[in-house]
Amino acid sequence: MRCVGFEVSDFTSEPENKNQIMALDYRNRQLGVLKDALTPILKRLQSASSFSSFCRHSCHNTVPSYVEGYLREMHATVEFLSLECAFDWLRTHYSDIYASVVNIISEDQEEPLPLDWVVLVEDWDHTYWTVWIYLVWMLWARDGQAFQERNPNLSSWLVEMNV
């Protein structure tokens, strides 16, 4: 079987000449470099996704003790937030608005309450992120200083978004 000028057997057979040996050695060293680079990237992603100051779920509200200092400092400037945690924040701070919005989503998507965010995220994550951001922006605009005092990190993010 031929594909793009190579036979499948080219990838599975032992190198037959010096050029093939050099090419295989080069590819193996490249792979080693990529694997070495992947470890710190994965640590950063795992650390960033394991903490959110907005989320009340136990798996997201504490920085793990095993995290290196530079990753701990990252949490001061970078946080990931799941849609479920975002709406849970809304439920905690603005339960009446949360209830209305979740009921509308439930009816629209024909999903029972409580909502299964994993199902909704598959097709509607951008839409519901837009809804959440709009609601938070409206609350920020409506409540002014009270919102800023209650939610300083979120408030500063909104200020930056409005610049």
Q: Which residues contact 60 (CB under 8 A, 6 or more apart)?
A: 50, 51, 52, 82, 85
What backbone torsions phi and psi does residue 153 show, to the nearest 5 degrees? -65, -45
Do 97 and 144 fall within a single domain?
yes
87 and 63 part of one domain: no
Q: Which residue did the predictor score with more confidence, 15 or 49?
A: 15
Q: How much of the chain exceeds pLDDT 70, in percent?
A: 72
For 94-128, write each residue's pLDDT tens digit: 999 999 999 999 999 999 999 988 888 888 888 99
Final residue of a structural domain among 24, 48, 74: 74
Domains in the chain, number: 2
Tokens (6 digits) for 19: 């050029």
* pLDDT tens column, 38-52: 888 887 777 666 666
Q: Which residue has the tokens 């029972």?
A: 112
What span, in angstroms and rounded, lies between the C-alpha atoms of 133 and 119? 20
- pLDDT above 70 (res 149): yes
pTM: 0.62
Domain end residue (candidates: 29, 52, 74): 74
**Cα 85 to the center of its chain, rounded Å:** 11
Residues 34 and 87 in one domain: no
